[in-house]
C-alpha cells in the first residue's frame, strides 16, 4: 500500500549514523570530533562545516547522530539566522546554557551559504561569536562554502566534505523503500532513477515516490516515459512538488522554468495549490502576494512584449512562493487541477454560442461585441424567457440558430420553438395566398421573415413595417405587435 501522507524523504530519513550511506569519510571525521565533545573536552575547532552537493546526507548525519547519542537538536535555517538579534536570542542562549536535565545539545545551522553580502554581515559576525562562546558542538551545512564572504567560517570550522552518492548506493536505498512500501519495482527502473538523480538521494527518493504513487508500480517503461533526461520538462504536478519541496531558491526557480506549461496556466496552477500546500494563513498570504506580483509582471509582458521581464515572473512565482513558507509544516499534498481552467473548459461551448449571438447583434445594431454581450444579451434573454411569442419573431428576424435560441430561451426553449413553427406556417400560407387577401398581421410577419433573408428586401420590409405601424397608430393601436427589426 502506498502511503500518501508523508514524503518518503522524511519517512525514510536515517535514524542512526550507520543508516547514512556512502559517506564513510565524512563519518570518520565527524564522529571522533563529536565524541570528543561528549567526553567533555571541546575540540580545538568548536564548529564543523559539512559541505557538498544537495541531497547527499549532510543534514541527515547531524540528525542521526543527535538521535543515536541522545542529544537535543537545536536547528536553525539561513532564513532564521540572518540577523544578529535572532542568533543571539535563539542559538546563543542554546549554545551557552545547559538544558534543565543536563541533556547535551548539538546546534545545527543549516545552509550557512544562504547568508549573503553585507546585508547579512551582522548574522555572519554573530555566528563567529557563537562559535567562540559555545558550550555545545555546532555543525553548519553548506552546498558551496567557497564564497569569499564565508572565509572566516571556513577558518573557524572543521571542514567535512560530502560526496555525491554512488549509483549502487542510491539503488540500494531505493530498493529498501520499495520493499518497505510493498511496491513492485524493477531493478533496471531503479537504476534509471539513480542515474538521473546524479548522486542526489533526495531527488531520487522524490522521483520514486512520484512514480509509485502515480502508477502503482515502478517499471523501466514508466521511468523512461516520465524521467527522460535531467533537463526534462516537469508536468504541473511535478512542478508543484519540486517547487514546494525546494530548500533553495535555485531549486524553486528551476521548478518553474522547467514547467511544461504556458506561463499563464502555470500561474493558475500555483494559485490553485498554494492554500492546499500551506496551512499557515501568513504563509498563504505571503505566497499569494508574490504570485500577484508575478502576475503584474506577466501583464506588463503581455501589454508591452518586454520579455526581459520574464525572469522576474520566475523569481516571484518560484522562490517567492517556495520561501513564503515560514510556519507551515511540510505535508504530502494532493494537488488540484485549476478550477478556473476546468470551468472555462466546461463552459467553452456556451461561451462560443454567446459570442456568436454577440456577433450577430453587433453587426445589426452597429455596436461592439463587448457591448452586445454586456448590455443587449442579458435583456434579450429576459425577453425570450418572459415572452416566447415575441422571442419567436426576434429569432426569425435575426436569423438565430437553434443553439442561440436555446442559449437565450433556456427553459422556455420548446415554447419559443412552437411559436416559431406557428409563425413560419403562417408565413408559408401567406406567401401562397393571393396578395390582396393578405391581412395586416400576415404582412408584418412576412416582413420579419423577409428582413432576415436579403438586404434589399429588408429595406422594403422597413418601409412596409413603418406603413403598417403608422396605419395601426392612426387606428388607435391593435393587439398585433410590430417586430422591432
Ligand atoms: N547518505 C544518505 N544516506 C541515507 N539517506 C540519505 C542520504 N543522503 C540523503 N538521504 C535522504 O535524502 C533526504 C535529504 O537528505 P539531507 O537533507 O540530509 O541532504 P543534504 O545533503 O543536507 O541536502 P541539502 O544540502 O539540500 O540540505 C534525507 O531525508 C534522506 O531521506
C-alpha span between 479 and 18 (Å, rounded): 97
Domain end marker among 131, 161, 191: 161
Does any domain span residue 325? Answer: yes
User: Which of 19, 21, 60, 181 has the most ligand 1 atoms within 8 A of CB, as the residue to mutate?
Assistant: 60
Confidence at residue 237, expressed as pLDDT on a 0 to 100 scale: 85
Q: Domain check: are 243 and 312 in the same one? A: yes
Confidence at residue 261, expressed as pLDDT on a 0 to 100 scale: 81
Q: Domain check: are 300 and 357 in the same one? A: no
pLDDT digits (tens, 9 = 90+) for 374-398: 999 999 999 999 999 999 999 999 9
Confidence at residue 266, expressed as pLDDT on a 0 to 100 scale: 92
Scanning 99-248, the segments in alpha helix (DSSP H) are 121-133, 151-156, 167-181, 187-197, 201-215, 220-226, 236-245
ipTM field? 0.98
Say which residue, 119 or 200, is predicted with more confidence: 200
Closest residue by CA, ligand 1 atom 26:
54
Domain end marker among 122, 145, 161: 161
CATH number of 174's domain:
1.10.8.60
Confidence at residue 479, expressed as pLDDT on a 0 to 100 scale: 34
Domain total in the chain: 4
Pairing status of strand 72-77 against strand 105-110: parallel
For the entire predicted model, the pTM comes to: 0.54
Q: Domain check: are 26 and 134 in the same one? A: yes
Confidence at residue 43, expressed as pLDDT on a 0 to 100 scale: 92
pLDDT digits (tens, 9 = 90+) for 126-176: 888 888 888 899 999 998 888 888 888 899 999 999 999 999 999 999 999
Does any domain span residue 215? Answer: yes
Position 477 pLDDT exceeds 60: no
Is residue 169 within 8 Å of 22, Cβ to Cβ?
A: yes
CATH number of 94's domain:
3.40.50.300
Query: How many helices and strands, by DSSP H and E, does the chain display?
Result: 26, 7
Q: Domain check: are 413 and 329 in the same one? A: no
Say which residue, 381 or 346, is predicted with more confidence: 381
Q: Domain check: are 138 and 64 in the same one? A: yes
83 band by pLDDT with thresholds 50, 70 and 90:
low
Domain end marker among 311, 337, 363: 337
Confidence at residue 120, expressed as pLDDT on a 0 to 100 scale: 58
- Give the distance (Å) from ligand 1 centre to CA of residue 59: 6
The domain in which residue 79 lies consists of 8-161
The strand pairing partners of 108, in sequence order, are 75, 139
- Give the distance (Å) from ligand 1 centre to CA of residue 55: 4
449 band by pLDDT with thresholds 50, 70 and 90:
very low
Cβ of 432: how many Cβ atoms within 10 Å?
Answer: 7
C-alpha span between 455 and 477 (Å, rounded): 29
Q: Domain check: are 332 and 388 in the same one? A: no
Confidence at residue 333, expressed as pLDDT on a 0 to 100 scale: 80
User: Which of 17, 59, 164, 245 has the most ligand 1 atoms within 8 A of CB, as the residue to mutate?
Assistant: 59
Does any domain span residue 150? Answer: yes
Could you tell me which residues come within 8 angstroms of residue 479 by beta carbon, excluding any fewer than 6 positions away?
none
Q: Domain check: are 195 and 150 in the same one? A: no
The grid coordinates listed for 270 are: 500555483
Flag the least confident range among 14-23, 278-287, 421-430: 421-430
Does any domain span residue 452? Answer: no
Closest residue by CA, ligand 1 atom 18:
57
Q: Which atom of ligand 1 is nearest to the CA of 110?
A: 27
Q: Domain check: are 12 and 122 in the same one? A: yes
- Three-state DSSP class for 296? helix
22 close to ligand 1 (CB < 6 Angstrom): yes
Could you tell me which residues come within 8 angstroms of residue 125 by beta carbon, excluding any fewer than 6 positions away?
84
> In the chain, what percentage of residues exceed pLDDT 90?
46
Q: What are phi and psi of 185, to 5 degrees?
A: -130, 125
**Tell me, what DSSP letter sits at residue 137?**
-
- Give the distance (Å) from ligand 1 centre to CA of residue 109: 15
Q: What is the mean pLDDT of residues 32-45?
A: 91
Say which residue, 243 or 123, is predicted with more confidence: 243
Q: Domain check: are 360 and 242 in the same one? A: no
Q: Domain check: are 257 and 333 in the same one? A: yes
Does any domain span residue 213? Answer: yes
Confidence at residue 46, expressed as pLDDT on a 0 to 100 scale: 92
Q: What is the mean pLDDT of residues 334-341?
A: 83
Chain mean pLDDT for the chain: 82
Say which residue, 377 or 117, is predicted with more confidence: 377
Confidence at residue 117, expressed as pLDDT on a 0 to 100 scale: 52
Could you tell me which residues come within 8 angstroms of residue 35 by beta carbon, excluding any fewer than 6 positions away?
none
- Give the distance (Å) from ligand 1 centre to CA of residue 252: 18
Position 228 pLDDT exceeds 90: no
Q: Domain check: are 305 and 360 in the same one? A: no
- Give the distance (Å) from ligand 1 centre to CA of residue 201: 6
Is 478 annotated as belonging to a binding site?
no
Relative orientation angle of helices 236-245 and 263-277, to the nearest 10 degrees: 50
Say which residue, 384 or 238, is predicted with more confidence: 384
Q: Domain check: are 74 and 140 in the same one? A: yes
Is residue 137 within 8 Å of 37, Cβ to Cβ?
A: yes
Say which residue, 471 or 64, is predicted with more confidence: 64
200 close to ligand 1 (CB < 6 Angstrom): no
Does any domain span residue 465? Answer: no
Q: What are phi and psi of 45, to 5 degrees?
A: -95, 115
Does any domain span residue 457? Answer: no
User: How big is the chain, counted in residues?
Assistant: 485
Does any domain span residue 14? Answer: yes
Position 483 pLDDT exceeds 50: no
Confidence at residue 129, expressed as pLDDT on a 0 to 100 scale: 86
Amino acid at each position: 500500500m502506498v502511503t500518501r501522507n508523508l514524503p518518503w524523504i522524511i519517512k525514510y530519513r536515517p535514524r542512526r549514523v550507520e543508516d547514512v550511506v556512502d559517506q564513510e569519510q565524512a563519518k570518520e571525521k565527524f564522529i571522533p570530533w563529536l565524541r570528543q565533545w561528549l567526553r567533555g573536552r571541546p575540540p580545538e575547532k568548536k564548529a564543523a562545516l559539512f559541505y557538498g552537493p544537495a541531497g547527499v546526507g549532510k543534514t541527515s548525519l547531524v540528525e542521526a547522530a543527535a538521535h543515536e547519542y541522545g542529544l537535543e537538536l537545536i536547528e536553525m535555517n539561513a532564513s532564521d539566522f540572518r540577523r544578529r538579534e535572532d542568533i543571539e536570542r535563539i542559538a546563543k542562549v542554546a549554545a551557552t546554557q545547559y538544558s534543565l536535565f543536563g541533556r547535551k545539545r548539538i546546534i545545527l545551522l543549516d545552509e550557512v551559504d544562504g547568508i549573503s553580502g553585507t546585508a547579512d554581515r551582522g548574522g555572519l559576525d554573530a555566528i563567529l561569536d557563537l562559535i567562540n562562546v559555545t558550550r555545545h558542538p555546532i555543525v553548519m551545512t553548506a552546498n558551496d562554502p567557497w564564497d569569499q564572504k564565508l572565509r572566516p567560517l571556513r577558518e573557524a570550522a572543521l571542514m567535512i566534505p560530502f560526496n555525491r552518492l554512488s549509483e549502487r548506493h542510491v539503488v540500494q536505498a531505493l530498493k529498501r523503500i520499495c520493499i518497505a512500501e510493498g511496491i513492485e519495482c524493477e531493478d533496471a527502473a531503479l537504476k534509471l532513477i539513480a542515474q538521473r538523480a546524479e548522486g542526489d538521494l533526495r531527488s531520487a527518493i522524490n522521483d520514486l515516490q512520484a512514480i509509485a504513487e502515480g502508477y502503482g508500480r515502478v517499471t523501466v517503461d514508466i521511468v523512461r516515459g516520465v524521467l527522460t533526461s535531467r533537463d526534462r520538462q516537469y508536468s504541473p504536478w511535478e512542478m508543484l512538488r519540486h517547487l514546494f519541496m525546494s530548500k533553495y531558491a535555485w531549486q524553486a526557480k528551476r521548478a518553474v522554468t522547467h514547467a511544461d506549461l504556458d506561463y499563464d496556466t502555470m500561474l493558475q496552477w500555483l494559485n490553485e495549490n498554494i492554500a492546499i500546500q500551506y496551512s499557515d494563513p501568513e504563509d498563504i498570504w505571503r505566497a499569494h502576494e508574490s504570485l500577484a506580483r508575478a502576475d503584474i509582471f506577466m501583464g506588463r509582458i503581455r501589454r508591452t512584449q518586454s520579455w526581459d521581464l520574464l525572469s522576474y515572473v520566475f523569481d516571484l512565482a518560484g522562490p517567492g512562493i517556495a520561501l513564503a513558507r515560514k510556519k507551515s509544516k511540510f505535508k504530502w499534498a494532493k494537488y488540484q487541477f485549476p478550477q478556473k481552467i476546468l470551468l472555462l473548459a466546461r463552459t467553452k461551448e456556451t461561451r462560443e454560442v454567446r459570442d456568436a449571438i454577440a456577433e450577430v447583434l453587433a453587426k445589426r445594431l452597429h455596436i461592439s461585441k463587448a457591448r452586445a454581450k454586456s448590455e443587449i444579451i442579458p435583456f434579450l434573454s429576459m425577453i425570450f424567457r418572459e415572452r416566447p411569442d415575441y422571442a419567436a419573431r426576434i429569432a426569425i428576424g435575426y436569423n438565430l440558430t437553434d443553439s442561440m435560441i436555446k442559449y437565450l430561451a433556456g427553459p422556455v426553449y420548446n415554447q419559443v420553438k412552437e411559436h416559431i413553427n406557428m409563425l413560419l406556417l403562417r408565413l408559408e400560407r401567406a406567401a401562397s395566398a393571393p396578395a390582396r387577401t393578405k391581412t395586416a398581421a400576415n404582412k408584418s410577419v412576412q416582413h420579419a421573415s423577409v428582413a432576415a433573408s436579403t438586404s434589399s428586401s429588408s429595406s422594403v420590409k422597413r418601409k412596409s413595417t413603418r406603413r403598417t405601424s403608422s396605419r395601426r397608430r392612426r387606428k388607435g393601436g391593435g393587439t398585433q405587435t410590430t417586430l422591432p427589426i
